[in-house]
């Protein structure tokens, strides 16, 4: 049977497709034919995901994969093994067996997909402080720009080329307001994209034309970011005091810079609209990127360490349900699934496999007697030694 495989596709940018389709079923392989012909294996079901997708198993809560490279792939659900035709069980004394072995069922898995964009630098700041203008001025990105809040409704990526052959990827993270970490505004949907960045450029409106205090804005946005993920408090952050061309009192900038420098931040006066100070800021960010390592996004303990393929181990479980002896486990499930219980020879093979696996010996150690009931999943049998 076919497997379900996720692969990173360069053309994918969002997870929007999965909003409308959430169940994916791979096809069965074809049946075998006459003259000992094997059935055709099914083609794997390929699910395309964008770069930066994190896949979690919802049953365990563990991470299956963090897909960061174009073409990277992972088997989400392994297809079942094909069965064996009756000729496989032929012997000198049984040249035409009346039974065959069914194929095993494939794996099933419930997963979640989360996109955390890949960027070297993230732009932070209140709506309308000039982040999109900065992105447009420094890259070939064409974000929607207007003088009202929540202009940017999705993260925008751009490539900044400081000098020929020297570039980095920058992301405009939209919609951060006070309460974003608690779901207010649009920020909760986009704060996750900050986590992959090496450097944060915190853009503030130094002009104060919106009627807000730049330092107060800075503190509130950082409270949201650090509240979302405390590890981001150690992420290198430089401050872009934007709209210097609109600032009436230059002393206000010096006061603002003195406060932040006393807290260990570097502050750059810029105007994204006129280009003032932008080169100096980009030069500093480039130097920082060259010296900073990418922080691991996911702790090793969060990863799912078990094999994704269907287990081949004989993990058999035994328990009592009142007076019934119950036997379960992946091995038993596969064995029962591949057995035609209506065929006496197939059933005899099933019983022999149970015996060889030690099931009968274990039941005897539990005190089973002739005539007692054994339940294997939904089927019940009477035990006779």
pLDDT digits (tens, 9 = 90+) for 305-331: 443 343 444 678 899 998 999 998 878
Tell me: do 98 and 131 sit in the same domain. no
18 has a pLDDT exceeding 80: yes
Query: Which region among 11-20, 78-87, 96-105, 346-355 has the lowest average model confidence (pLDDT)?
Result: 96-105
Cα separations in angstroms, 293 against 115, 167, 198, 199, 236: 21, 16, 7, 10, 11
Last-in-domain residue among 262, 295, 328: 295
Range of the domain at 71: 4-115
CATH code where residue 134 lies: 3.40.50.300
In a domain, 302, yes or no: no
Which of the four pLDDT bands, split at 50, 70 and 90, describes residue 152? very low
More confident call, 375 vs 347: 375
In a domain, 305, yes or no: no
In a domain, 300, yes or no: no
Tell me: do 241 and 284 sit in the same domain. yes
Tell me: do 132 and 78 sit in the same domain. no
Structure tokens at 77: 């659900």
Tell me: do 31 and 159 sit in the same domain. no
Which of the four pLDDT bands, split at 50, 70 and 90, describes residue 97? low
Structure tokens at 162: 């400081």
CA–CA separation, 127 and 110 (whole Å):
36
pLDDT at residue 83, as a whole number: 62
Tell me: do 239 and 191 sit in the same domain. yes
For the segment 47-72, the average pLDDT, to the nearest whole number, is 87
In a domain, 212, yes or no: yes
CA–CA separation, 219 and 243 (whole Å):
19
Structure tokens at 127: 């709506």
Tell me: do 270 and 353 sit in the same domain. no
CA–CA separation, 298 and 57 (whole Å):
14
**E strand or H helix that includes residue 239:** strand 236-242
Which of the four pLDDT bands, split at 50, 70 and 90, describes residue 294? low
Tell me: do 363 and 218 sit in the same domain. no
239 has a pLDDT exceeding 80: yes
Contact 28, 40 (CB under 8 A): no
pLDDT at residue 306, as a whole number: 45
CATH code where residue 330 lies: 3.30.300.350
357 has a pLDDT exceeding 60: yes
**E strand or H helix that includes residue 216:** helix 214-228
In the chain, the number of structural domains is 3
Nearest to 204, CA basis, from 176, 228, 181, 179: 176
CA–CA separation, 42 and 273 (whole Å):
57
pLDDT at residue 276, as a whole number: 92
Tell me: do 28 and 93 sit in the same domain. yes
């Amino acid at each position: 049977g076919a497997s379900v495989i996720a692969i990173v596709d360069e053309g994918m940018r969002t997870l929007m497709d999965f909003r409308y389709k959430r169940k994916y079923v791979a096809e069965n392989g074809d049946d075998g034919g006459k003259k000992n012909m094997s059935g055709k294996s099914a083609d794997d079901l390929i699910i395309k995901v964008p770069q930066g997708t994190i896949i979690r198993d919802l049953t365990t809560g563990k991470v299956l994969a963090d897909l960061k490279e174009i073409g990277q792939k992972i088997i989400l659900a392994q297809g079942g093994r094909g069965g064996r035709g009756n000729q496989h069980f032929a012997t000198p004394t049984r040249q035409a067996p009346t039974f065959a072995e069914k194929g095993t069922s494939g794996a099933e898995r419930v997963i979640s997909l989360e996109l955390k964009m890949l960027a070297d630098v993230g732009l932070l700041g209140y709506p309308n402080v000039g982040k999109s203008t900065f992105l447009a001025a420094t890259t070939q990105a064409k974000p929607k720009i207007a003088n009202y809040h929540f202009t940017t409704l999705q993260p925008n990526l751009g490539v900044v080329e400081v000098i020929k052959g020297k570039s980095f990827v920058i992301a405009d993270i939209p919609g951060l307001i006070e309460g974003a970490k608690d779901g207010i505004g649009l920020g909760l949907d986009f704060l996750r994209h900050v986590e992959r960045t090496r450097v944060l450029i915190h853009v503030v409106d130094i002009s104060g034309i919106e009627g807000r205090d730049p330092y107060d804005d800075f503190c509130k946005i950082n409270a949201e970011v650090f509240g979302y993920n405390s590890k981001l408090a150690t992420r290198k952050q430089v401050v872009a005091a934007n709209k210097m061309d609109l600032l009436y009192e230059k002393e206000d900038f010096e006061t603002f810079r003195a406060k932040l420098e006393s807290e260990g931040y570097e502050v750059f006066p810029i105007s994204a609209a006129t280009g003032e100070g932008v080169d100096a800021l980009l030069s500093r960010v480039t130097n920082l990127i060259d010296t900073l390592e990418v922080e691991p996004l996911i702790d090793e303990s969060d990863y799912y360490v078990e094999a994704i393929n269907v287990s081949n181990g004989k993990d058999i479980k035994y328990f009592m349900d009142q007076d019934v002896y119950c036997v379960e486990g992946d091995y038993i499930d596969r064995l029962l699934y591949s057995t035609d219980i209506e065929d006496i020879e197939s059933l005899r093979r099933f019983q022999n496999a149970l015996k060889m696996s030690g099931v009968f010996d274990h039941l005897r150690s539990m005190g089973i007697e002739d005539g007692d009931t054994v339940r294997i999943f939904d089927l019940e049998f009477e035990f006779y030694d």
